[in-house]
Amino acid sequence: GAGVSQTPSNKVTEKGKYVELRCDPISGHTALYWYRQSLGQGPEFLIYFQGTGAADDSGLPNDRFFAVRPEGSVSTLKIQRTERGDSAVYLCASSLQGGDNEQFFGPGTRLTVL
């Protein structure tokens, strides 16, 4: 079956612009996570959704970052007034209802802010 998909695979933008990154989780997975990975580092947690609600957004670095999941399936990570330091690979993962269930990761979106 289809895994987690993320679009676009690559995004190049200019400093100060707004970007949206999309995640399509595995069908039926109620838990969805966003992580950010900088070069040479492990993924860094950003936000966790259980259904439509953000159950834990403690990893969002500042108020320029926001994520939604209005129908409990597709999620969009939104970054306002992008900065060069936002350049990273943004990973999305989903799992069955959170818990001990493994997280399935998508291939990521590589964001480059010039």
| Residue (35 or 65) nearer to other proteins, CB | 35
Cβ closer to other proteins: 23 or 113?
A: 23
- Residue 93 is a binding residue for other proteins (CB under 8 A): yes
Token pair 């999620």: residue: 75
User: How many other β-carbons are positioned within 10 Å of the β-carbon of residue 109?
Assistant: 22
Which tokens sit at 23?
A: 């995640």
CA angle centred on 110, ends 108 and 111, rounded to 5°? 130
In the complex, the smallest distance separating the C-beta of residue 74 from other proteins, rounded to whole angstroms, is 17
Residue 91 near other proteins by CB under 8 A: yes
Query: CA-CA distance, 88 to 82, in Å (whole number)?
Result: 12
Nearer to other proteins, 74 or 89 (CB): 89
Distances (CA, A) of 95 to 13, 91, 99: 30, 14, 8
Q: Binding residue for other proteins (CB under 8 A) from 72, 96, 105, 112? A: 105
Residues that bind other proteins (CB under 8 A): 4, 31, 33, 35, 40-45, 48, 55-56, 59, 91, 93, 95, 98-100, 102-108
